[in-house]
C-alpha cells in the first residue's frame, strides 16, 4: 500500500467487526435476558420440595407445612407453583406414578403400562 493511501479493506473489516460485536451484544443482553433467573431458582426449589416431601412419604411434613409461598417466596408470581405428588415423582424418578397416563412402559414407576380399566378412549394406557 502506498504512503497516504486509504486502507479500504481494513476499514471494511473494522466496520464488519463492529457490526458483529454489536449483534452479539444485542443477542446476549436483549434475547438472553428472557431466561429469568427467578424461574430457575424456583424450579430448584420445586426439586428440593419434592425431595423433602418424598422423604416424608408424600404426607404432611413439618419443614414443608403445606405453604408453597412460605417455602418459595415469589415463585407463584414467577409462574412456578407447588408441585403435585405426580409432578414430584416425575421430577425425582423420571417416570410416572401409578394410575397416570403413560405412553410406554419406561414412563411408569412400576415399569408396566396397561389398558385403561375404565375403557376411556381418551386416556389410553395407564401405569399399574
pTM: 0.52
What number of residues does the chain have?
A: 128
CA distance to 24, 102, 123, 127, per residue, from 36 (Å):
19, 31, 35, 35
Per-residue model confidence as pLDDT tens digits over 80-107: 888 888 888 878 876 666 666 666 655 5
H/E element, 115: strand 113-115
107: which residues sit within 8 A by CB, 6+ positions away? 95, 96, 113, 127
pLDDT at 15: 95
Amino acid at each position: 500500500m502506498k504512503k497516504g493511501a486509504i486502507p479500504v479493506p481494513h476499514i471494511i473489516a473494522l466496520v464488519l467487526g463492529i457490526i458483529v460485536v454489536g449483534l452479539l451484544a444485542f443477542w446476549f443482553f436483549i434475547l438472553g435476558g428472557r431466561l429469568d433467573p427467578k424461574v430457575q431458582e424456583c424450579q430448584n426449589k420445586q426439586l428440593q420440595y419434592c425431595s423433602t416431601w418424598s422423604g416424608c412419604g408424600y404426607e404432611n411434613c413439618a419443614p414443608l407445612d403445606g405453604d408453597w409461598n412460605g417455602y418459595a417466596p415469589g415463585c407463584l408470581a414467577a409462574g412456578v407453583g407447588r408441585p403435585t405428588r405426580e409432578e414430584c415423582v416425575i421430577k425425582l424418578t423420571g417416570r410416572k406414578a401409578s394410575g397416570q397416563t403413560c405412553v410406554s412402559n419406561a414412563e411408569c414407576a412400576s415399569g408396566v403400562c396397561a389398558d385403561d380399566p375404565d375403557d376411556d378412549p381418551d386416556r389410553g394406557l395407564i401405569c399399574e
